[in-house]
Structure 1
Amino acid sequence: MANASIGTPAQLRDPNYTPGLAKAVPLGLQHVLAMFVSNVTPAIIISGAAGFGFGSDAGAQGFPDMSYLIQMSMLFAGIATLFQTIGMGPVGARLPIVQGTSFAFIPIMIPLVAGKGVEALPALFGGVLIGGLFHALLGTVIGKIRFALPPLVTGLVVTMIGLALVRVGIQYAAGGVPAIGTPEYGSLLNWSAALVVVLVTLGLKFFTRGMLAVSAVFVGIIAGYVYALMVGMVTLEGIGTSWSRAAAFAPPMPFKYGFEFSFAAVIGFCLMAFVSAIETVGDVSGITKGGAGREATDVEIQGATYADGFGTAVAGVFGGMPNTSFSQNVGLIAMTGVMSRHVVTIGAIFLIICGLIPKVGAVIRTIPIEVLGGGVIVMFGMVVAAGVSMLSDVNWNRRNMVIFAIALSVGLGLQLEPQAVQYLPDTLRILMTSGLLPAAVIAIVLNLALPEELEEDQTEEIAGGMAKAPK
């Protein structure tokens, strides 16, 4: 897509360059399509975990709350993106960074809200607000703490995020948690809707180019939605009811659900902020290398971290989820060759407009959970793949193998068997059963505590999962 009609090579590498609107608007929309489904999915998952309804046939009880969370996901993704592209003083990298709702915090949020309804939201958003402010503070020291988060640690955490979430994708594709134990759960009809999404996504990703390939998950879910309409999983009447029930325009409400200080929420969000901050550093470096052929400056990395944190904190005030930079848009910049931050600004404005129109969220809410499951399987599988890719940079000697093995065993084990710590105090139990935090803490502590230099016979690299035989 990058060619002379958009600009010269020097212009394309300049973040301050703006192509003509005829080119800039489609490029900005392309960024939105690449991240749109991933951005609203966490709000849908947390709503479901808290007990809000799914689909057009869900009762009215959860309708306004779930739609509002979807609305805030779009609105504050756009606002946080403006923090990055336009900036405010030291806040913002002033680079084409797209912000969106973070998957990393979902395993922390689910135990906080599980089955508690709207009563859990004050503590949740209190954690988002305080965690966001802490995240912003990391901007002052981000360069100094990177040593504590090498690929062994960050790759492990990202992999565990994906592993914690793939179960959600399978449950959604089979019919959703409320359907477990019913004859409909796992039916061929449910799985067929999810498989349509997966197959269309794969087809577009590998056999098309340009905007279709970039927005493959988005188009795949549309295809799944059309299929669901054809087989009667969602009705036009239900869509009309959701559309008419939602307002045409609604501004965000500060502290709509109140504010509550929860030690578990605050600690969880603050600890995960370290991982999110390092992820943003990687994204900023990827953008400057892929789009401009240079390393990111300290000012850019610091500004991006500030924007991450303040964007999350502001979102928490109004009922939005934690924000972070979106890696899929980093790849999009490398593909298009357009480094313009103003192109991303146009995409951010589009997100803000969608976030101010509740009818958009109401329509998203009518998507059958099985259709969403197909998209989630692809997205969360990619999270696992990203973690494995990061782990490929690790020197797999016995020291690192032991660190990884212990951290993974404890973290994944507690995710799979939360009753193992049922007698711990509530706060500690929530943090432990997330799996992510104990795994991250174990990996960080062991990585800092265990000596790097081992005896020569202990530094043999691992081949095929087994240590090489002694000579």
Structure 2
Amino acid sequence: MPPIHAVDERMPPGRLFSLALQHVLVLCAGAVAVPLIVGAALKLPQDQIAILINADLFAGGVATLVQCLGVWKLGARLPVMMGVSFVSVGPMLAMAAAPDIGLTGIYGGIIAGGLFGMAIAPLVTRLLPYFPPVVSGSIILLLGISIAPIGIRWAGGGIGSPDFGNPANLAIALSVLLVIVALHKWGRGIVRNISVLIGIAFGYGLCLLLGKVSFGDIDAAPMFGLVQPFQFGLPSFHLGAVISMCIVMLVILVESTGMFIAIGDIVERPVDKRTMTRALMADGAGAVFGGIFNTFPYTSFTQNIGLISMTGVRSRYVCAAGGVIMIILGVLPKLAHAVATIPPYVLGGAGIVMFGMVIASGVRMLSEVDFTSNKDNLLIVAISCCVAMIPLAAPTFFGQFPAWLSPITHSGILLGAVTAFSLNLLLNGRTRSAADALAEHGAAMKRSEA
């Protein structure tokens, strides 16, 4: 009988749970950030933000199970933890600002984008040559720049807060940031990996002591409640939102390709074309499922790739157990209500770190780009960065354009991504084979988690 590969290893329940819980803790802070951001942008009340948080954890758990265990032709059958992608934040905020789209329009775009992702999954590896580091690095950099203001606004107390910029609130945000920095510097093992979560817990505890937490309707929330599909209404489909989320899905799939290659190398089960197609189709299916169950597009979380490297545990059943834990957390409304009571300035201290790290990741990827012998790469980064700043610098810049285009024209990350892709195609063309592009994406992802 052949030996069991480490990816397929099963272990005792106690050890399985403890290892799975580590993965959930690493993922948790980033996973709940997106519903908090979108909920605040739409000015949703606390109980509806709690619904988004429950749905996020529940759907993320289901998506994780599909990737780890496989369903039909979906899933990589690798140790993967799935969480909401930050790539979708900017476009969704642009949709939230549009007067006629709202949350149901966002969900319609997500479902359409997910179906588009499933359709193009077999072709993504052929598209990789058109996403060299100068393009993907620019996109990641612009993603961080576009969401960094959210962390800054949180640190001030949240836009619209009557005591925005209160020194006491800023001091709490700073204390959260300093705790995270200290743990990242001197922490070891799992403590360092969950430094953001510990920082948030520290800030929340400080706010409890100071009486700065408003529990709202947390007592009225049930202990257990199933996540219901279309809880905010049936999805509506707007052309601009659909195009926007299709572009987002393409970027997510390109990003995921590097992650799956890296995971395959780390666990010593190389990802072939068939496995890659199944994995990317599961990403698309996760977005469809998310749109149905009141949440957002999913991707594999890079932090968990680093945890696999750190622990040396390569079993996909550990991540599958993590998915089960997420599903259980997703049906506990009181927990989601508690998360929704975290003051913005606590989240701000953590958000500055999380979103700033996205910027740093883009800078690191761009550091590998040849800017010396190929001056065109400088032009690509320069123009795409400036174009991405248009919605921030001049919100009415595209005011004379058709309203249906607003989800695209008001999203700096989409404008920058399309510009970087188009300029690279014009100036550099296809400079690598698909095989070289696959290897390069996987190597870049491994370096980012080294």
Q: Secondary structure at the match of 2:78?
A: coil
Instruction: State yes or no: 1:65 paired with 2:48.
Output: yes
For the 8 Å contact 1:50–1:116, the answer to whether it is kept is no
Letter in 1 for 2:37: I
Instruction: State yes or no: 1:95 paired with 2:78.
Output: yes
The Cα of 1:388 is off from its aligned counterpart by: 1.3
**C-alpha separation in 2, matches of 1:375 and 1:267:** 32
Which string of whole-angstrom CA distances, capped at 9 and with x for unpartnered residues, describes residues 318-357 of structure 1?
2111111111111111111111000001111000001011
Greater alpha carbon shift after TM alignment, 327-336 vs 243-252 = 243-252
The Cα of 1:451 is off from its aligned counterpart by: 4.6
Aligned to 1:464: none
Instruction: State yes or no: 1:204 paired with 2:183.
Output: yes
**C-alpha separation in 1, matches of 2:428 and 2:57:** 46
Matches within 5 A, 1:399-438: 399-438=376-415
| Bigger relative CO (Cα 8 Å, ≥ 6 apart) | 2
**C-alpha separation in 1, matches of 2:263 and 2:388:** 32
Aligned to 1:395: 370
Consecutive unaligned residues of structure 2, counting only runs of 5 or more, are 432-450
For the 8 Å contact 1:51–1:116, the answer to whether it is kept is no
Greater alpha carbon shift after TM alignment, 134-143 vs 88-97 = 134-143
**C-alpha separation in 1, matches of 2:406 and 2:71:** 39
**C-alpha separation in 2, matches of 1:199 and 1:365:** 23
Q: Secondary structure at the match of 2:240?
A: helix
Q: TM-score, normalised by structure 2?
A: 0.91
Aligned to 1:122: 104
The Cα of 1:453 is off from its aligned counterpart by: 11
**C-alpha separation in 1, matches of 2:349 and 2:98:** 24
**C-alpha separation in 1, matches of 2:31 and 2:319:** 15
Instruction: State yes or no: 1:228 paired with 2:207.
Output: yes
**C-alpha separation in 2, matches of 1:171 and 1:273:** 27
Greater alpha carbon shift after TM alignment, 391-400 vs 358-367 = 391-400
Letter in 2 for 1:28: A
Residues 115 and 419 from structure 1, CA distance in 2 versus in 1: closer, same or farther, beyond 3 angstroms?
closer
Aligned partner of 1:37 among 29, 49, 71: 29
**C-alpha separation in 2, matches of 1:453 and 1:73:** 38
Letter in 2 for 1:442: T
Aligned to 2:442: none
The Cα of 1:290 is off from its aligned counterpart by: 2.4
Aligned length in residues: 426
For the 8 Å contact 1:77–1:348, the answer to whether it is kept is yes
Aligned to 2:60: 77
**C-alpha separation in 1, matches of 2:47 and 2:186:** 39
**C-alpha separation in 1, matches of 2:322 and 2:122:** 29
Letter in 2 for 1:84: Q
Which string of whole-angstrom CA distances, capped at 9 and with x for unpartnered residues, describes residues 119-155 of structure 1?
7111111111111111122211111111111111111
Letter in 1 for 2:79: P
Instruction: State yes or no: 1:217 paired with 2:196.
Output: yes
Matches within 5 A, 1:302-341: 302-341=277-316
For the 8 Å contact 1:287–1:334, the answer to whether it is kept is no
**C-alpha separation in 2, matches of 1:285 and 1:115:** 37
Letter in 2 for 1:420: F
Letter in 2 for 1:262: H
Instruction: State yes or no: 1:242 paired with 2:217.
Output: yes
**C-alpha separation in 2, matches of 1:255 and 1:97:** 27
Q: Secondary structure at the match of 2:299?
A: strand
Aligned to 1:381: 356
Letter in 2 for 1:166: A
For the 8 Å contact 2:98–2:406, the answer to whether it is kept is no
Aligned-residue RMSD, C-alpha: 1.9
For the 8 Å contact 2:95–2:406, the answer to whether it is kept is no
Aligned to 2:13: 21
**C-alpha separation in 2, matches of 1:80 and 1:416:** 37
**C-alpha separation in 2, matches of 1:47 and 1:131:** 21
Letter in 2 for 1:318: F
Aligned to 1:460: none
**C-alpha separation in 2, matches of 1:353 and 1:451:** 48
**C-alpha separation in 1, matches of 2:426 and 2:187:** 49
Instruction: State yes or no: 1:278 paired with 2:260.
Output: no
**C-alpha separation in 1, matches of 2:31 and 2:282:** 17
Is the radius of gyration larger for structure 1 or structure 2? 1
Greater alpha carbon shift after TM alignment, 257-266 vs 96-105 = 257-266
**C-alpha separation in 2, matches of 1:390 and 1:440:** 15
**C-alpha separation in 2, matches of 1:84 and 1:408:** 34
Aligned to 1:166: 148
**C-alpha separation in 1, matches of 2:226 and 2:113:** 24
For the 8 Å contact 2:25–2:194, the answer to whether it is kept is yes
**C-alpha separation in 1, matches of 2:19 and 2:99:** 41
Q: Secondary structure at the match of 2:217?
A: helix
**C-alpha separation in 1, matches of 2:131 and 2:396:** 30
Which string of whole-angstrom CA distances, capped at 9 and with x for unpartnered residues, describes residues 240-287 of structure 1?
x53312122222222222211111111110001111001111111121
**C-alpha separation in 2, matches of 1:329 and 1:134:** 27
Matches within 5 A, 1:172-187: 172-179=154-161, 182=162, 184-187=163-166
Matches within 5 A, 1:454-469: none
**C-alpha separation in 2, matches of 1:453 and 1:93:** 28
Residues 265 and 64 from structure 1, CA distance in 2 versus in 1: closer, same or farther, beyond 3 angstroms?
same
Which string of whole-angstrom CA distances, capped at 9 and with x for unpartnered residues, describes residues 39-87 of structure 1?
01110110100012xxxxxxxxx13311111110100110000110011
For the 8 Å contact 1:72–1:320, the answer to whether it is kept is yes
**C-alpha separation in 2, matches of 1:411 and 1:365:** 31
Letter in 2 for 1:197: V
For the 8 Å contact 1:33–1:218, the answer to whether it is kept is yes
**C-alpha separation in 2, matches of 1:247 and 1:450:** 58
Letter in 1 for 2:156: A
Aligned to 1:57: none
**C-alpha separation in 1, matches of 2:65 and 2:428:** 44
Q: Secondary structure at the match of 2:369?
A: coil
**C-alpha separation in 2, matches of 1:305 and 1:97:** 12
Which string of whole-angstrom CA distances, capped at 9 and with x for unpartnered residues, describes residues 148-174 of structure 1?
111111111111111001111010001
Q: TM-score, normalised by structure 1?
A: 0.87
**C-alpha separation in 1, matches of 2:198 and 2:393:** 33
**C-alpha separation in 2, matches of 1:85 and 1:47:** 29
